[in-house]
Amino acid sequence: MDAAVREALELLVAAPAVAFDVPLGAGEELARLAQAGIERLCALRMDAVATVESEGSWRADGSSSVTAWLRTALDLPGNEAWTVVRTARALHDELTLTRSALWAGRLSWAHASRLSRTALVTPRRRAAVAAPGGEATLVDIACSVSAADLSRLLAVWAHGVDAAGVMAAEQQVFDQRRVSLAQTLDGLWHIEGLLDPVGGATLAAALDSVVGASLGAKGEDRTVVQVRADALVDLARHALDTRQVPRAGGLRPHLFLHLQPEALAGPPSSLGAPPGELAPGEATVSAVVAQMLACDAELTVVRWGGDGSLLDLGRSRRTVPTHLRKAVVARDRFCVYPGCRRPATWCDAHHIVPWARGGPTSLANLCLLCRYHHRVVHGFDLRITRSVELQAWQFSYADGAPLRGPPDRRRARRTVYVPAA
């Protein structure tokens, strides 16, 4: 190593912070100079690591490998240490033109490390690199594009020289897909998983299509991640509602909610109203949520004897018959909540006066609400009226104060539940 360069490096490392103060107007030039310096230093570090490895000096401090030595001696994070070692080996053993291009400043460290990661992973790719003109072609490709675009071009190159290897790698990625879904002790569901590139893009596109309608809407008070969570549930619910899922055990799968009649009868509150039980999962839901779900559902009345025997199983009926729902959809077309434009197929038909409290199942007593706003309306006990002259819906709190913007959380229901006599 040139003594002057070593001296310059030592000076750089030892200089006090004030020596690096950036004068006004010199920011751009110095940022570029610093980046060029970083590139040189990356190349130097790579060569130095190759020497440490070939000499075996990493063993001196008891490290188990040269990567482990980098992690402890240079304090590099594990993946970065491995990238340095892998790139150093590749550029010294097989990709010598790439190393020359890196030192000549034609390629960046990011280019070189990406190239080395892709070029040598299978025997076929190795052979293509070693063939006359093989590596030179790759270096030419890399010099012509940004590091960000290089991965895509390398994928095209790999597909050309080693289609079987690409397919095998793709299958390996695909085999890692998984989703687990488990309920936590506080009733939340925890989703964890990995999707293959096609599956992930499909889900992202479907979520985007649902999320897009909500984000930016006036009065939206959910966070982006809450909107996305609701969108995922909406997708599942939509598939169940539109009967696009296979039957299981002779039944269309859906959510089952077991309720005592009192859960629907009284004004719900946290005090005393019997909760509903949700299957699968056996979680309980408050009477507020039970009433929301019962607004637009298929209802079966089951009577049990005191000894637990089944006395009577009534016929199932929809709380909103299909023909009436069609009329509501034709009139409202969208969720009627202020600012929401979620289309009818994603909406529940809400009983403005709950049917369990005598509200009729009639066009005048029904309106469309998306699931989120349906929950808001029940949770805040909002009153809805339709102004015939204005052809518009008006939302207000139970005390008559009009709803303006997102609902005021201090106004959530406080009504005390009194069981029906």
Q: Which residues bind Zn ion (CB under 5 A)?
A: 295, 335, 337, 340, 342, 350, 370, 373
Phi, psi of 354 (to 5 degrees): -55, 140
Nearer residue to Zn ion within complex by CB, 91 or 294: 294
Closest distance between Zn ion and the C-beta of residue 207, in Å?
17
Q: Max CA-CA distance within the chain?
A: 98
Closest distance between Zn ion and the C-beta of residue 149, in Å?
41
Closest distance between Zn ion and the C-beta of residue 400, in Å?
20
Nearer residue to Zn ion within complex by CB, 325 or 350: 350
CA terminus-to-terminus distance, the chain: 95
**Closest by Cα among 64, 66, 63, 94 to 82:** 66
User: DSSP of 38-98, one letter per residue?
Assistant: HHHHHHHHHHHHHHHHHHTGGGGGT-SSHHHHHHHHS---HHHHHHHHHHHHHHHHT-HHH
Q: In sequence order, which residues have a C-beta less than 8 Å from that of residue 40 and are 6 or more positions away? A: none
CB 378 within 8 A of CB 291: yes
Nearer residue to Zn ion within complex by CB, 373 or 413: 373
Nearer residue to Zn ion within complex by CB, 29 or 221: 221
Closest distance between Zn ion and the C-beta of residue 365, in Å?
11
Nearer residue to Zn ion within complex by CB, 99 or 351: 351
Nearer residue to Zn ion within complex by CB, 46 or 288: 288
CA angle 25, 15, 83 (to 5 degrees): 90
DSSP helix/strand/coil, 184: coil
Nearer residue to Zn ion within complex by CB, 58 or 380: 380
Closest distance between Zn ion and the C-beta of residue 259, in Å?
15
Closest distance between Zn ion and the C-beta of residue 332, in Å?
11
DSSP helix/strand/coil, 211: helix
CB 222 within 8 A of CB 230: yes
User: DSSP of 223-235, one letter per residue?
Assistant: -HHHHHHHHHHHH
CA distance 239 to 180: 20
CA distance 89 to 95: 9
Taken as a whole, the chain contains a residue count of 421
Closest distance between Zn ion and the C-beta of residue 244, in Å?
22
**Helices and strands (H, E) in the chain, number of each type:** 16, 13
Nearer residue to Zn ion within complex by CB, 9 or 297: 297
Closest distance between Zn ion and the C-beta of residue 383, in Å?
12
